[in-house]
Chains A and B, each alone.
Chain A
Amino acid sequence: MAKKRLIFTLLYDNGSFMLSRNFRLQKIGDLKWLETNYGFSEVGYSIDELIVLDVSRTPRDRQAFCETLKALTFDCFAPIAAGGGVNSVKEAHDLLRSGADKVVVNTALHTNPDLISKLATEFGRQCIVASLDCKYSDNTYQLVTNNGSETIDLELPQFLAEISSLPVGEIYLNSVDRDGTGNGYDFKLLDCLPKSIEVPVILAGGVGNSKHLAEGLSDHRVDAVATANLLNFMGNGLALARAELINTNFDLPVFIEY
């Protein structure tokens, strides 16, 4: 069986890396800041996967994002997923040529389902991560798209009930309400998953510390836990969190030094 995964998510907006709170973005630093405070050649050894999302609120400069992705992944030998506004096979292809192993899709799941089939034919469904941004309102979870700016006319449980018909390889379940709050994951999101769900589930939104990661890993419905909290794990924060989780017997891979 695959071990559980600890995933770090980077949010990119127009050349900067961002901290997000309920999808409102705060600029933290550029690539140089990231290298100084994280250094992905090293942090790569503390995480099981890196997700990089272009959440630019202004029109995306896709080429610049690809260049940033290349710079980030140059000496980081960990799995990378990338996305943000992907709306064509070409855009997905460019990400996969810039260091990404998987492509994250969000808005296109709803507006362009044909694209999902095309991506699966081209790259295989294991290459596609379905990202769902969920917002609690009127006693249910609404799905929002376009960086949280639009609410679609389908609730999360309904969407998930049909997800097996979409050729995706993973689900990234993110809580807009918990996003950046540091209050921990919203486990009620998991109650919306059909029991028969076949694809792995990544839980995101709300992590403030390693205890929250532990809570996420403890839930049997969760295959991977993600955090996009750019300030709480600086320096060796991710390495410490990982060591703590492994010491408390969570089934994360142990990476050997040579």
Chain B
Amino acid sequence: MENKVTIIDYGMGNLWSVASAIKFLGADPVVSHDPIEIANSNCLVLPGVGSFRRAMETIKTNKYDQAIAEALTNSKTKLLGICLGMQLLGASSTEDGVTPGLGLVPNLVTRFSSNNDIKIKIPHIGFSEVKSPKNSSLFANIPDNSCFYFVHSYFMEIANYDVTKSHVATATHGTDFVAAIESGRICGTQFHPEKSQKSGLQLMRNFLERF
């Protein structure tokens, strides 16, 4: 198992819970806001709740985007984005105007909408079933349609990804959306694995052990 896990601290997100889960799984979480430490890590977690635009501003101001890119030049480096952290991996988001993301996966992020045909509650809050892709390492040993905890108003669109390079798990809230993505060693979950009971812990264990 990967021992040292660097949790990128850009001021947004429940770092305590992510760190607790990593500790519980027997690894050593290090919360860091030092770009050099991030660039030198080979196991990164990008957590986050809040506004996409604000998050990207903070990430760019502190050059965390460059640090992440540098870390990923090492072919052994793996990255897990959680919730907003997954959305940030995408190409762009329509939150507060169009904001470019880190562009590590090509998907776009947009807001849920409720209308007379499909009435949904926004934000999407609570446990929802996730359809996991075949041959996924992230979902190894996790039964299909297991429940994970979501809390978000924006979602990553399924369209626009390369099926030969990526595995995409989906969930439904009015529309189908990306619940989790794995593209090589770049992984992301829209749900909070650290808040998703034993299935979530299993997924985090898979990330630590199988990538």
Contact = CB atoms under 8 A, between A and B. Distances in A.
B94 interface: no
Interface string B127-155: 11000000000000111001101111100
B153 A124 contact: yes
B125 A99 contact: no
Consensus secondary structure, chain A interface: loop
Interface string A20-44: 0000000000000000000000001
Given A255-B198, A256-B198, A101 B17 contact: yes
Contacts of A75: 20, 24
A18 B60 CA distance: 45
Contacts of A99: 14, 16-17, 20
Nearest to B96: A121
Nearest to B20: A74
Nearest to B17: A99
Given A44-B197, A99-B16, A122 B54 contact: yes
Interface string A230-258: 00000000000000000000000111111
Interface string A66-102: 0000100111011110000000000000001111111
A45 interface: yes
Interface stretch (B66-74, B97-105, B115-123, B177-185): B115-123
Interface string B38-81: 00000000000111001000000000000000000000000000
A198 interface: yes
B9 to A, nearest CB: 10
Contacts of B49: 96, 101, 123-124, 126-127
Contacts of A121: 51, 54
Interface string A208-221: 00000000000000
B127 A253 contact: yes
> Which of A3, A170, A258 neighbours the largest number of chain B CB atoms within 10 Å of its CB?
A258
A98 B200 CA distance: 20
Range class of the B interface residue count? 35 or more
A134 B197 CA distance: 33
A224 interface: yes
Given A79-B149, A101-B195, A126-B152, A2 B15 contact: no
A79 B123 contact: no
Interface residues of A, number: 44
Contacts of A124: 49-51, 84, 153
Interface in A36-58: 44-45, 48-49
Given A199-B122, A256-B143, A77 B200 contact: yes
A98 B19 CA distance: 11
Given A255-B147, A258-B141, A198 B127 contact: no
Contact of B126 (A5, A70, A74): A5
A63 to B, nearest CB: 15
Contact of A70 (B16, B173, B194, B197): B16
26 contacts: A1-B174, A2-B121, A2-B125, A2-B150, A2-B173, A5-B125, A44-B197, A73-B17, A77-B194, A78-B149, A96-B49, A99-B20, A121-B51, A122-B51, A125-B153, A127-B49, A169-B123, A169-B125, A169-B153, A198-B114, A198-B121, A199-B121, A223-B125, A253-B127, A255-B198, A258-B141
Given A1-B174, A2-B125, A258-B199, 20 more contacts: A2-B126, A5-B127, A48-B149, A73-B16, A73-B17, A77-B17, A78-B197, A97-B14, A97-B15, A97-B16, A99-B16, A99-B20, A102-B151, A121-B51, A123-B50, A169-B153, A198-B114, A198-B121, A199-B123, A223-B125
Interface of B: 12-17, 20-21, 24, 49-51, 54, 84, 114, 120-128, 141-143, 146-147, 149-153, 172-174, 192, 194-202
